Structure 1
Amino acid sequence: MTERIIPVDVIGPIALDLTMNTGSIRVVVDPTLKQARMVLTTEATSGPSADAIRDTTVSLNGQNLRVRVPDLAGGMSGITTVSRGGYTMTFSGGNGVQIINGNVHITGHGGGKVFVNGREVTATDPAGDAVTPISAVVHLPAKSVVAISTHTANAVVTGVLARLEYDGTSGMLTADRVGDLEATVTSGSVIVGEVNGPLDISLTSGSVNVGAYSGHHARLNVTSGSVRMAATSQASGRLSVNATSGSVRVTGAGHLNVRRRVTSGHVQIS
């Protein structure tokens, strides 16, 4: 296993700016914690995943922590994502994939290797320098803020964040409670239990679900996909909905100042 502890030599809440395109991200907000800590791990001791952890760039400026985990070998440039019925397929580089009579044929500049959950299972090279998933685990004091940029990593946030910015091409984000939420979603899904501050959602595909919204300004910009949100009696101010396509359903919003612009799709606000 390869492990790297990211030093955070400041006391109190921090602003974490994390870019990590694949793997898994777990953020835990602990109100009893005085100092943030972060660890990157992968099962491999050598190869692309281990190298990516060693090559991760870190900068700390006051309470601002910036972490950039480099892409694994093969990269993620030239991405095409197809989402249908809750399933997502992502293609990048290569030449292509063919399914003929139940057999999967893979061709590409990377040698046609096969990976399942990040682990190489290619019959001709079962060991080698396998690409194993990278895991980022972050423990934060209360009142911290986080910005996550990713392609396919799944992210889980437990506890209460003061602010969460999320930019995801695919994958899933789940969070318990946040103050402010700004999410740009190209595909995949975002599930947030509670939002108590301003809410700004830009959805191209996939889905966004907000269990309880209590903020004072919300903007939902939907090109495709679906948004489900329940406003509480504590919510106030304006709710702006701009839907080019897709589906939007907001309940408990009868007391809000609603502005809507719908090109197509289905918008229901009650």
Structure 2
Amino acid sequence: MTERIIPVDVVGPIALDLAMNTGSIRVVVDPALKQARMVLTTEATSGPSADAIRDTTVSLTGQNLRVRVPDVAGGTGGSTTIRVGGNTMTFSGGNGVQIVNGNVHITGHGGGKVFVNGREVTANGPAGDAVTPITATIHLPAKSVAAISTNSANTVVTGTLARLEYDGTSGTLTAERVGDLEAVVTSGSVIVGEVSGPLDINLTSGNVNIGAYSGHCARLNLTSGNVRMAATAQATGRLTVNATSGSARITGAAHLDVRRRVTSGHVQIS
């Protein structure tokens, strides 16, 4: 296993800025914690994943922690992505893929290796070059905020974040409680139990579920996506919904100042 502990030499809440395209992200907010801590791990002791952990760049300025985990095995720069429903296919860097009589033929500069969930399954692939998933585990004091950018990493937040900015493509975000939430979602999924502050969602071909919204300003912008949200009696102010070929069902919002604009989509507010 490869492990790297990221030092956070400040006391109190921090602002985390994390970019990590694949793997898994775990954020735990602990009111009893005085100092944040972060660790990156992967099962491999060498190879692309271990190299990515070692090459991760970190900067700490005051209470602001910036972490950039490089793409494993070259990432998806210069890629083409095809999205159908909630599924994605990305092609980059190689020559191509052919399916002939049920057989899959892969050609390209990477040697035609096959990976499933980040692990190499090529029969003749050297074990030392295996790509294993990277896990980022971050423990934060109360009142911390986070900005997370990812392609396909699954992100789980437990506890209460004061603010979360999330930008995800085909990944899943699951969070218990968030104060302010700003999310840009493309072919991904966002599930948040409670949002108590301003809410701003931009959704393209994905799914968002907000269990209990009690903030004072909400904006939902949908393009071929689905939103389910329940507003509480504590929610106030304006609710703006723009839907283009999307679907939104919001309950408990009859007492809010509702503004809606629908273009060949479906919006139900009660």
Query: TM-score, length-normalised on structure 1?
Result: 0.96
Letter in 2 for 1:257: D
My pick for the range that moved more, 241-250 or 208-217, is 241-250
My pick for the range that moved more, 90-99 or 201-210, is 90-99
Change (3 A) 1:133 1:63: same
Over residues 207-235 of structure 1, what are the superposed CA-to-partner deviations in whole Å (9 max), with x where a residue is unaligned? 11101100000000111111111111110
2:119 is aligned to 119
Q: Counterparts of 1:119 and 1:64 in 2: how far apart (Å)?
A: 33
Matched, 1:36 2:58: no
SS in structure 1 of the partner of residue 94 of structure 2: coil
Change (3 A) 1:83 1:159: farther
Unaligned 5+ runs, structure 2: none
2:75 is aligned to 75
Question: As a proportion of its length, which structure holds more strand?
Answer: 2
Unaligned 5+ runs, structure 1: none
Letter in 1 for 2:232: T
Matched, 1:254 2:241: no
- Runs of 4+ in structure 1 over 4 Å off: none
Q: Counterparts of 1:187 and 1:120 in 2: how far apart (Å)?
A: 25
Over residues 93-127 of structure 1, what are the superposed CA-to-partner deviations in whole Å (9 max), with x where a residue is unaligned? 32333333332222222221101111111112141
Percent identical residues: 84
Letter in 1 for 2:236: S
1:199 is aligned to 199
SS in structure 2 of the partner of residue 51 of structure 1: helix
2:168 is aligned to 168
Q: Counterparts of 1:234 and 1:59 in 2: how far apart (Å)?
A: 39
1:129 is aligned to 129
Change (3 A) 1:215 1:266: same
> What displacement does 1:128 show?
3.6
Letter in 2 for 1:51: D
> What displacement does 1:76 show?
1.2
8 Å CA contact 1:88, 1:188 repeated in 2: no
Q: Which aligned pairs between 1:1-270 and structure 2 lie closer than 5 A?
A: 1-77=1-77, 78-84=79-85, 86-270=86-270
Over residues 59-109 of structure 1, what are the superposed CA-to-partner deviations in whole Å (9 max), with x where a residue is unaligned? 10111000000111231122404243x444444332333333332222222
Q: Counterparts of 1:65 and 1:150 in 2: how far apart (Å)?
A: 17
Letter in 2 for 1:95: N
Query: TM-score, length-normalised on structure 2?
Result: 0.96
8 Å CA contact 2:241, 2:261 repeated in 1: yes
> What displacement does 1:264 show?
1.3
8 Å CA contact 2:94, 2:109 repeated in 1: yes
> What displacement does 1:129 show?
1.1
Over residues 14-63 of structure 1, what are the superposed CA-to-partner deviations in whole Å (9 max), with x where a residue is unaligned? 00000001110000001110000000011111111111111111010111
Q: Counterparts of 1:15 and 1:259 in 2: how far apart (Å)?
A: 33
8 Å CA contact 2:55, 2:69 repeated in 1: yes
Q: Counterparts of 1:81 and 1:166 in 2: how far apart (Å)?
A: 22
Letter in 2 for 1:38: M
Q: Counterparts of 1:69 and 1:127 in 2: how far apart (Å)?
A: 23
Letter in 1 for 2:4: R
Letter in 2 for 1:2: T
Over residues 118-154 of structure 1, what are the superposed CA-to-partner deviations in whole Å (9 max), with x where a residue is unaligned? 1111112141411111100000011100100001111
> What displacement does 1:171 show?
1.1
Aligned length: 269
Change (3 A) 1:247 1:93: farther
Over residues 169-225 of structure 1, what are the superposed CA-to-partner deviations in whole Å (9 max), with x where a residue is unaligned? 111010000000000011110100000000000011111110110000000011111
Change (3 A) 1:39 1:71: same
8 Å CA contact 1:199, 1:219 repeated in 2: yes
